[in-house]
Structure 1
Amino acid sequence: MKLRSTSIGRDVELGEQKHYLQLFVAVVSLFVLQASLAQTPFSLLIEVVVASAALMLAVMLAEFSRRIVIVIGVVVALVIAIAVIQTMFGGVTDSAKGLGLVNLLLLAAGTPALIRATRRHPTINASTILGAITIYVLIGLFFAAMYRSLLTFNPDSFVTSSGSLTPSAMQYLSFVTITTVGFGDITPVTNVARTTV
């Protein structure tokens, strides 16, 4: 009987590791998308869909009550529907603003859910490490999305000494800041930008 319960415990742990790996892949995909795609309504829609998938994976890992998972699922479905409508019928600038904020909110919601899931682990295992790495990347992506939103609403929020202020430049700024290696090629100008950086 002990062998059977140990085997079941391992199966549960392997299943959990699979879910953490899926979430990690979704977040890394979002990282690559944000760094490589131009900020168009369609690319932002893709980011919203991937961020929504990551949020739902994080919520399921956090083991919220069924009711909370359903409510979050309905909200995510509505967000995706609104994002599709915004992409199809909104102007380029309005779509970029709206979808950028939606992406920011999805990233903001996924991080606490994943922290809740990771804190449940009684010991450090592969799932805990994947969860911690994913949390780190989510925090960086959250700030990158915030900087992109600031830039969308006020193009004078940042200045650069080299190149242009693309979404990948904002992602670079986020991870350079979070790793505390310093920067100087992108400078926050407005008070709001300075406060967030």
Structure 2
Amino acid sequence: MTTKDTVGAACPRDDEWISAEKAADVLGVSESTVHRMAHRGLIELGSGYRRYHRPSVEVLRDRGEPMSLSEAGRILHRSIAEVRQLHAAGKLGPFANATFPVFRREIERYADAHPPPSGRECRLNVTTAAEMLGLSKSTVHRLARSGRLPCDRDSRGQYWFRREHLTMYVRTRDAEDSFEGLGVLPTTLAPGS
């Protein structure tokens, strides 16, 4: 015989389950993204039609927005391969998922607790360097290829810049501009002069 108390204990509470629309509002994403997250196991799916477990939605919300490994690598100042290793070791969160493998707040917490390896703190990619210098990406590529802008090149042929080198380039460019404004160009002595 079941009583009101035993039925309530056996069945999950109704207020623990929310619609896709409500879950999308909580997470700040579209309903279709909520469905994909549930399908991938990020959110507990109820037995009813598209009902989602409120506590699992709130836990996901507290983890921050999902992000790609490449974006996580930029925040952590590490390569995607290194981010994959950290993720596989369980250091970047419990969910292994190809579409939303890591979450912003977890990455930021990890970045605060684990500074990048020495010597790599200021590695910037071409896009960031172009923004910092106020140049186009193609101009940054051309300067790097010609050797006028110091950089490192990885095994995939990507250019990486150090912040101090970019700062030095900006100072040199500004000095040249100021000399041009005076109608004088800086000269260097030839070797042996």
Instruction: Please report the TM-score for the alignment, with normalisation by the length of structure 1.
Output: 0.26
Structure with greater contact order relative to length (CA < 8 Å, sep ≥ 6): 1
Give the structure with the larger helix fraction: 1
**Rg: which structure is higher?**
2
Question: Please, what TM-score do these two structures have when normalized by structure 2?
Answer: 0.26
Of Structure 1 and Structure 2, which has the larger fraction of its residues in strand?
2
